[in-house]
């Protein structure tokens, strides 16, 4: 029985607020393209759901990077699920080995379009990444990602909420041609998630916890 | 410019191709939610000293013909059904039609079925159950409201053909079974009208079901075409309603289900909201209490 409802868990996770790794945590080099994917998702029971997304990012300037992504698993459930946004450097860090982090702000949104009936939702989001630089191209980071649900009044039984915060931390390695990373997230700690006949592990009793792996190819 | 466009174009093409490939799979949450598993049926009569003992001669398995619904792309299917009691008495007996919950087959509900047959006396009531398409050894698959409606109509037709009338019919929906049960109670389009309905740990509607899992105001159509609406159907249902729900139910949240009870404006309603009980009402409340509540509703409510 538990495995039967994992499909619901997978669909729910794919559409869960903030359920993805950060596309980029620091601006790309000006003119650089990065094409990559992310694998991972929230934990349900003892399993980690294998959500897959692909994205591309472009360094518009030295301080600004634009990105767009596609959640692949949502497509399997007949939903077009796109995210797009822009990240901008707010303050430069202290350089390699410094405790002073680089701070980058990002904003964007997620578009969901159901292919069954055309149902459409848009969820804007914004947040911050604080990024440190270590030798050999390693960049640990931590940050927040706040989602807004402008249609929260459409939720059944007045159970919707406007704000959906997420917290995350991770590590990226940026080489000459590749970027790889791992990111942990505390998904929406203001809510509890109910997937019938499944257990959704939480931090401190609320939200869900996700783990994601990213890999991208750098195109100068 | 070209060097900028090429990576973007390639990535977009790959993403589009992947999305198109996946959308062609037509994956739907109801593929998992509406699926049991084939298994040999096992309905042991039990020991004669057992309070819920049923005579072996009163255990009847049959095939039901669930008709096609071409307008909703539902083909005909043969279902496996079970009747506990003497079919020859259907013309005079009160019959409880049990719509089972999400399990491999009706095997999992045998203890509840044989207790129902013995409520208020040995073999006092006839009890019928069947496996929906894709459950047990019924042909499959179930695909949503339309296929579930056809299956329920097949069971009602089988009972009507043997002389059952609406005034002696009680429909009991357990968990998943509350969805077709409430649907038919709201629509009243089948061979027999429903005048007495029991909903045991019901869901509310498909949007609430999905939003509880996602957290955002997403409609269920983003993941499934199974648009069930127990609340809406209860608002249309004119008959008597018994609602039983565990307050610790983590499968069908009681706060959602309260809305269907409030929506019901029919001729009678009663609720048993059970502290310390989860999704398994009979196990958590106790078989005796469970049976007493059903007997009270079946025997004493006009």
Distance from CA of A112 to the nearest CA of B (A): 8
- Determine whether the interchain pair A191/B7 forms a contact, defined as Cβ–Cβ distance below 8 Å: no
| Count of the separate structural domains present in chain A | 1
What number is the ipTM of this complex?
0.81
Residue ranges of B 117-176 with Cβ closer than 8 A to chain A: none
| pLDDT for position B302 | 76
Task: Indicate the residue of A70, A77, A191 with minimum beta-carbon distance to B223.
Answer: A77
Residue B59: is its pLDDT beyond 80?
Answer: yes
- Determine whether the interchain pair A164/B216 forms a contact, defined as Cβ–Cβ distance below 8 Å: yes
Task: Tell me the average pLDDT across B254-266.
Answer: 94
Q: Compute the distance between CA of residue A145 and CA of residue A16 in angstroms, rounded to an integer.
A: 13
Query: Any chain B CB within 8 A of the CB of A58?
Result: yes
Task: Tell me the average pLDDT across B40-57.
Answer: 94
From A46-50, A56-60, A103-107, B262-266, the region with the lowest mean pLDDT: A46-50
Query: Any chain A CB within 8 A of the CB of B227?
Result: no
Task: Tell me the average pLDDT across A186-191.
Answer: 81
| Sequence-separated (6 or more) residues with CB below 8 Å from residue B292 | none
Query: Any chain A CB within 8 A of the CB of B5?
Result: no
For residue B257, give the H/E element and its range: helix B254-263
DSSP state of B68: P
Chain A residues whose CB is inside 8 A of the B22 CB are 72-73, 75-76
Query: Any chain B CB within 8 A of the CB of A53?
Result: no
Chain B residues whose CB is inside 8 A of the A151 CB are 217
Could you give the angle at the alpha carbon of B82 between the alpha carbons of B67 and B261, nearest 5°? Answer: 80
Residue A197: is its pLDDT beyond 80?
Answer: no
pLDDT band at residue A143 under the 50/70/90 scheme: very high
- Determine whether the interchain pair A5/B215 forms a contact, defined as Cβ–Cβ distance below 8 Å: no
From B2-16, B96-110, B124-138, B212-226, the region with the lowest mean pLDDT: B2-16
**Radius of gyration over every alpha carbon of chain B, rounded to an integer in angstroms:** 21
- Determine whether the interchain pair A7/B33 forms a contact, defined as Cβ–Cβ distance below 8 Å: yes
Query: Any chain B CB within 8 A of the CB of A186?
Result: no
pLDDT band at residue A2 under the 50/70/90 scheme: very low
Give the model confidence (pLDDT) of A109-135 as tens digits: 999 999 889 999 999 999 999 999 999
Chain B residues whose CB is inside 8 A of the A159 CB are 208, 211-212
Closest B-chain CA to A31: B4
| pLDDT for position A9 | 63
Task: Indicate the residue of A35, A75, A219 with minimum beta-carbon distance to B23.
Answer: A75
DSSP state of A206: B
Residue with the larger pLDDT of the pair A7 and B2? A7
pLDDT band at residue B1 under the 50/70/90 scheme: very low
| pLDDT for position B28 | 64
Residue A14's domain spans which residues? 2-219
B166 closest CA partner among B103, B116, B94: B94
| pLDDT for position B169 | 98
Query: Any chain B CB within 8 A of the CB of A122?
Result: no
Q: Which of A10, A12, A207 to mutate to test the interface with B (most CBs of B within 10 A)?
A: A12
Give the model confidence (pLDDT) of B122-148 as tens digits: 999 999 999 999 999 999 899 889 999
Place domain B7-298 in its CATH homologous superfamily. Answer: Alpha/Beta hydrolase fold, catalytic domain (3.40.50.1820)
Residue B215: is its pLDDT beyond 90?
Answer: no
Residue A86 burial class via C-beta count within 10 angstroms: exposed 0-12, middle 13-18, buried 19 and up: middle
Task: Indicate the residue of A16, A58, A121 with minimum beta-carbon distance to B215.
Answer: A16
Query: Any chain B CB within 8 A of the CB of A191?
Result: yes
B155 closest CA partner among B168, B171, B140, B139: B171
Task: Count the Cβ atoms, other than its own, within 10 Å of residue B39.
Answer: 14
- Determine whether the interchain pair A121/B218 forms a contact, defined as Cβ–Cβ distance below 8 Å: yes
Q: Compute the distance between CA of residue B181 and CA of residue B199 in angstroms, rounded to an integer.
A: 8
Residue with the larger pLDDT of the pair B16 and B73? B73
| pLDDT for position A11 | 64
| pLDDT for position B209 | 84
pLDDT band at residue B18 under the 50/70/90 scheme: low
Q: Give chain B's end-to-end CA distance (angstroms, integer).
A: 79
Any idea what the CATH number is for the domain that residue A55 is in?
2.40.160
Residue A193: is its pLDDT beyond 90?
Answer: no
């Amino acid at each position: 029985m538990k495995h039967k409802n994992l499909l619901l868990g997978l669909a729910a996770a794919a559409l869960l607020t903030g359920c993805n790794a950060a596309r980029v945590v620091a601006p790309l080099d000006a003119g650089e393209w990065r094409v990559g994917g992310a694998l991972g998702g929230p934990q349900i029971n003892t399993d980690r759901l294998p959500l897959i997304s692909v994205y591309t990012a472009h360094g518009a300037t030295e301080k600004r990077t634009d990105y767009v992504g596609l959640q692949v698993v949502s497509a399997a459930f007949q939903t077009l699920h796109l995210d797009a946004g822009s990240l901008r450097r707010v303050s430069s860090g202290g350089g390699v080995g410094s405790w002073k982090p680089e701070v980058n702000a990002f904003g964007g949104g997620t578009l969901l379009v159901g292919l069954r009936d055309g149902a459409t939702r848009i969820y804007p989001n914004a947040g911050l990444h604080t990024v440190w630089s270590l030798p050999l191209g390693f960049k640990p980071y931590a940050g927040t990602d706040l989602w807004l649900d402008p249609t929260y009044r459409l939720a059944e039984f007045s159970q919707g909420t406007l704000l959906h915060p997420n917290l995350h931390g991770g590590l990226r390695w940026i080489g000459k041609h590749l970027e790889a990373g791992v990111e942990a997230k505390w998904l929406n700690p203001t809510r509890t998630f109910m997937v019938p006949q499944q257990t959704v592990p939480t931090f401190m009793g609320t939200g869900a916890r996700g783990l994601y792996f990213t890999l991208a190819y750098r195109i100068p | 410019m070209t060097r900028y466009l090429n990576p973007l174009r390639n990535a977009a093409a790959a993403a589009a191709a992947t999305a198109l490939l996946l959308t062609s799979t037509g994956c739907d949450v109801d593929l998992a939610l509406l699926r049991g598993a084939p298994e040999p049926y096992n309905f042991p009569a039990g020991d004669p000293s057992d309070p819920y003992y049923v005579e072996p001669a009163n255990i009847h398995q049959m095939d039901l013909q669930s008709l096609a619904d071409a307008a909703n792309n539902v083909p005909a299917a043969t279902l496996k059904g079970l009747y506990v009691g003497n079919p020859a008495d259907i013309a005079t007996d009160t019959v409880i039609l049990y719509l089972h919950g999400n399990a491999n087959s009706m095997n999992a509900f045998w203890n509840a079925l044989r207790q129902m047959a013995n409520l208020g006396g040995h073999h006092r009531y006839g009890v019928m159950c069947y496996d929906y398409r894709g459950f047990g050894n019924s042909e499959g698959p179930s695909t949503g409201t339309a296929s579930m409606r056809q299956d329920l109509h097949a069971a009602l037709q089988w009972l009507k053909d043997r002389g059952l009338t609406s005034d002696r019919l009680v429909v009991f929906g357990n968990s998943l079974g509350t969805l077709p049960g409430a649907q038919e109670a709201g629509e009243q389009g089948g061979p027999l009208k429903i005048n007495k309905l029991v909903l045991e740990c019901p869901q509310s509607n498909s949007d609430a079901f999905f939003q509880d899992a996602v957290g955002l105001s997403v409609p269920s159509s983003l993941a499934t075409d199974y648009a069930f609406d127990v609340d809406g159907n209860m608002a249309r249902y004119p008959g008597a309603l018994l609602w039983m729900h565990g307050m610790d139910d983590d499968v069908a949240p009681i706060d959602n289900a309260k809305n269907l009870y409030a929506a019901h404006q029919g001729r009678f309603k009663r609720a048993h909201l059970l502290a310390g009980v989860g999704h398994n009402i009979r196990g958590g409340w106790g078989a005796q209490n469970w049976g007493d509540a059903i007997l009270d509703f079946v025997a004493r409510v006009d």
